[in-house]
């Protein structure tokens, strides 16, 4: 979902660069490819079909996801699965996940007998394994796992900032106790934990005896948990691919010592004190009906606070965000909050951004 694009348009994948990245990745041992129906404006699955030609499909486990929020009947389930099989140019999806489950969405799908449907598709050979990705609180996570004995795996958000968020560490341990493989998404929090950090954070990192990149610290923290089966990383450049593969080669737990884990806890606490909004730039909130560029605004708002309210960020904001796309255009309809996997108070954040970043002075 974070492949390189052309002109900043998520639906326009830079196919030459992305193909080079994916082939390099697979050639160097990565054997799990994750996509979903809405990624890159619905173009991700079609693009992957091209990339996985000439023997590459046989080298990987391919995972995609039912667009659960669009499903209102088993006819819809059939429609989307058949469309995805056609997009991916494959007869069988290795891992088919129910996308973005929470308590309410799971209850709706169970009323539609989604498990019976999944079992039938498995018998037909269209699906090899059944799983789900998750965004809700731990009690809902436990309820979903306990509702069905046929789960192969689950996918949760997990990084050193989110150890107690959503499923969190409790969910990780509970899922593995029930025999599920656990795939971790957002190990670097949508890139927030990979960028150059604020001065207060960088000062902490200088205490480490072993010097690592921001992304490597974040990935190693996840891999340090033996319950984690697999870590997903949305990469946008070949350099990121090369760095992550190099890190993965040293990923067997334990990858961190006690002093390093203590340091990471200090970093997490400092980030929390800085008041970062935990936006992962998944872009599910886009397009906004009013044209508000929500992920970009939140990113700049985070930079503003991380830099101790540096006025240069206000100048940067006004250069990067055109007036017709600024936070002041928000009419507080709440549609973005309904679909945000992080359950962020986006209207409140945009209001704060408008107040601090758009006013003169």
Report pLDDT for 360: 67
Model pLDDT, residue 308: 66
Note the pLDDT of residue 307.
67
> What is the pLDDT, as a whole number, of residue 62?
97
Q: Report the distance separating Cα 193 and Cα 244, nearest Å.
A: 14
Q: Helices 294-306 and 346-357 sit at what angle, rounded to 10 degrees?
A: 60
> For each of the chain's 361 residues, which pLDDT tens digit applies?
889 999 988 899 999 999 999 999 999 999 999 999 999 999 999 999 999 999 999 999 999 999 999 999 999 999 999 999 999 999 999 999 999 999 999 999 999 999 999 999 999 999 999 999 999 899 999 999 999 999 999 999 999 988 888 899 999 999 999 999 999 999 998 777 887 777 888 999 999 999 999 999 999 999 999 999 999 998 999 999 999 999 999 888 999 999 999 999 999 988 877 767 778 788 889 999 999 999 999 988 887 876 667 788 888 899 999 999 999 999 999 999 988 987 888 998 898 888 889 876 5
What does the buried/exposed string (b/e) look like for 177-212 if buried means 16 or more CB atoms within 10 Å of the residue's CB? Answer: eeebbbbbbbbbbbbbbbeebbeebeebbeeeeeee
Long-range contacts from 119-127, C-beta under 8 angstroms, 24+ separation: 119/150, 121/81, 121/96, 125/91, 125/92, 126/81, 126/85, 126/91, 126/92, 126/93, 127/81, 127/92, 127/93, 127/96
Residues 6 or more apart in contact with residue 232 via CB below 8 angstroms = 32, 34, 155, 183, 184, 185, 187
Q: What is the rounded CA–CA span in Å between residue 15 and residue 342?
A: 30
pLDDT value, residue 187: 94
∠16-19-21 over CA atoms, to 5°?
110
Residue 94 backbone phi and psi in degrees, to 5: -65, -45
Give residue 361's pLDDT: 54
CATH architecture of 5-274: Alpha-Beta Barrel (3.20)
């Amino acid at each position: 979902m974070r492949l390189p694009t052309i002109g900043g348009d998520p639906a326009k994948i830079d196919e030459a660069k992305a193909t080079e990245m994916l082939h390099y990745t697979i050639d160097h041992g990565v054997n799990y490819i994750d996509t979903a129906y809405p990624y890159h404006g619905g173009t991700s699955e079609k693009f992957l079909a091209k990339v996985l030609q000439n023997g590459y499909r046989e080298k990987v486990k391919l995972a995609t996801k039912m667009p659960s929020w669009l499903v209102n009947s088993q006819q819809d389930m059939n429609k989307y699965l058949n469309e995805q099989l056609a997009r991916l140019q494959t007869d069988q999806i290795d891992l088919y996940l129910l996308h973005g489950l929470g308590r309410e969405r799971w209850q709706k799908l169970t009323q539609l007998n989604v498990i019976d449907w999944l079992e039938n598709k498995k018998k037909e050979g269209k699906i090899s394994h059944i799983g789900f990705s998750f965004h809700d609180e731990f009690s809902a996570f436990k309820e979903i796992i306990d509702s069905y004995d046929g789960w192969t795996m689950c996918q949760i958000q997990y990084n050193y900032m989110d150890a107690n968020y959503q499923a969190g560490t409790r969910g990780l341990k509970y899922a593995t106790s029930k025999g599920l493989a656990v795939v971790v998404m957002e190990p670097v929090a949508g890139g927030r934990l990979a960028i150059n950090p604020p001065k207060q954070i960088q000062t902490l990192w200088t205490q480490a005896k072993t010097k690592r990149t921001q992304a490597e610290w974040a990935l190693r923290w996840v891999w340090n948990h033996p319950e984690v089966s697999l870590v997903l990383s949305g990469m946008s450049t070949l350099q990121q691919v090369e760095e992550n593969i190099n890190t993965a080669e040293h990923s067997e737990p334990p990858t961190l010592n006690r002093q390093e884990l203590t340091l990471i806890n200090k970093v997490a606490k400092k980030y929390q004190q800085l008041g970062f909004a935990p936006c992962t730039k998944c872009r599910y909130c886009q397009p906004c009906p009013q044209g508000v560029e929500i992920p970009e605004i939140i990113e700049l708002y985070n930079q503003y606070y991380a830099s101790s309210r540096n006025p240069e960020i206000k100048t940067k904001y006004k250069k990067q965000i055109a007036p017709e796309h600024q936070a002041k255009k928000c009419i507080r309809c709440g549609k973005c909050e309904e679909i945000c996997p992080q359950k962020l108070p986006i209207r409140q954040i945009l209001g704060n951004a408008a107040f601090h970043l758009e006013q003169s002075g």
